[in-house]
Amino acid sequence: MKKIFWIILLALVSSISIIPTVRAREDKDYSQFIKMHLSKLTHQMVVEILIEDREFMKYPLHSEKEIRDTLNLMFSGGEVKDIEMLKRKIFDGFDDLNCSFLEELGGSIEYKKKMTLYCITWGLLSNYYGVDNYFGLAWDFYEHIDKIREDPEDPFYQEILDSYFTLRITSLFINCKKDRFKKNLCFSRINDYLIDCCKYFQYIPKKERFLRYIKQLEYIIKECTKVDYQLQPGDTYWSLARYVREKSGLTKEYLKDETLISKLALGIDQDLQYKGISRLEEGEQIELYDAGYYISILIDEESFQ
């Protein structure tokens, strides 16, 4: 009987010993940190891509000052007054845009960028039902965005990719705000966003500018999701990649994506190499982050190829 007891006990100890030793950093409330940095990034992308990038803009932007002032207030936590008047002014621009003759490639790009800006501003000034309706109108402009992967040389889809990702980051921001910038809910969205950025990054024309936005998301992830992980017997970059994928709150699509495992493994390898760790040694403690951090590293590498 005693022999059986010791055999069972030994088996339990052995099974416990192969469970990865993971220690999360001090349990902080990161909501204010996420809110501050995500607000700044979203504001920056809307202004730089949809207002200040005039490459294909033939006509002035209607109510530009009012839109800029509104965005400044919305993303700094200020109170916007005369909302209905602002909405009507933006509608005047919407109406003027739809009555203009915007010819050829440049005109089509100008139309979609300005319409995206109007819908985003309307959405920010509305309740959540309004957001769904106005953003739904904007999403219609990008329903065929995946065609760029079939025809990478198509300049139209190339030039609206940054607008598409601006709409997505604004939608992400609004949903995070709705959820009070709770860490887990925000980072599942940020991780998905960066994985999609990785898919399309090679087609974005202004890569250097877009990389600045990605690095800001990388910083948010690195500061908020790091855990101390003690390497176990048999650990490989692929087993670490699976652990990272599981902890990142990804959608089902990415939880079944084995190509993502290879990318994460490569990103983990590159990150540890940068930190002076060239081999995985049992018992050594390393830092691991959410999936988006490693995807950002790969996007950074690709931009220099």
What is the pTM assigned to this prediction? 0.87
Give pLDDT, residue 269: 96
* Confidence at 186, pLDDT banded by 50, 70, 90: very high
Grouping H, G, I as helix, E, B as strand and the rest as coil, residue 269 is helix
Task: Considering only residues 14 and 90, tell me which one the structure prediction assigns the higher pLDDT.
Answer: 90
CA distance 176 to 189: 8
> Would you give the distance in Å from CA 268 to the centre of its chain?
19
CA distance 216 to 225: 14
Q: Residue 36, Cβ neighbours under 10 Å: how many?
A: 13
* Confidence at 24, pLDDT banded by 50, 70, 90: low
Grouping H, G, I as helix, E, B as strand and the rest as coil, residue 113 is helix
Q: Kindly state the average pLDDT of the residues 96-109.
A: 78
Closest CA to 124 of 116, 271, 100: 116
Give pLDDT, residue 53: 93
Q: Kindly state the average pLDDT of the residues 111-122.
A: 93
Give pLDDT, residue 17: 38
Q: Of 146-150, 199-203, 210-214, which gets the smallest average pLDDT?
A: 146-150
Q: Kindly tell me if the per-residue pLDDT of 144 is higher than 50.
A: yes
Mean of per-residue pLDDT scores for the chain: 86
Residue type, 18: I
Alpha helices in the chain (DSSP H): 2-17, 31-45, 64-76, 83-98, 104-124, 128-139, 155-178, 183-200, 207-225, 237-247, 252-255, 258-274, 291-303
HSE on the CB side for 294, CA within 13 Å? 28
For residue range 119-142, what is the model confidence (pLDDT) as tens digits? 999 999 998 778 889 999 999 999
Contact 122, 170 (CB under 8 A): no
CA distance 54 to 215: 24
Domain ranges of the chain: 27-225, 227-288
For residue range 246-281, what is the model confidence (pLDDT) as tens digits? 999 988 888 888 889 999 999 999 999 999 999 999
